[in-house]
Structure 1
Amino acid sequence: MALFQWIAAAEQGEFQDRLASAVGRLNLEIDQEFSNSGTIYARDKDGLKTSINARGTVMISPNNGTRDEFQVEVRSSEPMLKRGTRCEQIANDLKAVIPAKP
């Protein structure tokens, strides 16, 4: 399983605005059933033409209950050691919008 994770720092409103702009560009959709005001769960759109193993999911949640730090996780069923995967692409694109905390 491919997994990329990092801690990002931002105000919650600013953070959600950044994520919303990235979601459409990455062909992801926010799943309202599993998301709430503090946690965001997004996944590849159903119509995306990728193999079932390459479908990525993104989970963003507060880090240790703080309001200005978030843990970002990007996962897929692709092999972790393989380069150029859909999971890696999503993670790299998200890091450009939601960078890791220095």
Structure 2
Amino acid sequence: MNWAVSIKWIHGRYKEDSRVFDSKWEAEEWADSLYPDIVGEGFVNVGYATPDKKVADFLMRQIPRWAEYLRTHNPSMPAVTVGTSTEMVDGLLLYKVWIAPEMN
């Protein structure tokens, strides 16, 4: 897969972006609330970085569901895939999750 496309990172808009949530439920509620931001940025080539693995894990599972929902309402939307990586930034491990068009 070629991830050379520029990703629009939405991290940094909210104080919760740097938070590690106490419970899986809180993390999933937070991650689910990112849907309007991700869709508002065009859904494809959009990413989110978080220090909370629970948030990243939820997004990895949920983004394909969001994509399926969006494609049922807009069949012209391209098929997408979810990319992931980790990166150490200022001594903090960040989990990165992004959406890219599926390469056939």
Q: TM-score, normalised by structure 2?
A: 0.36
Ranked by relative contact order (alpha carbons within 8 Å, sequence separation 6 or more), the top structure is: 1
TM-score (norm 1): 0.37
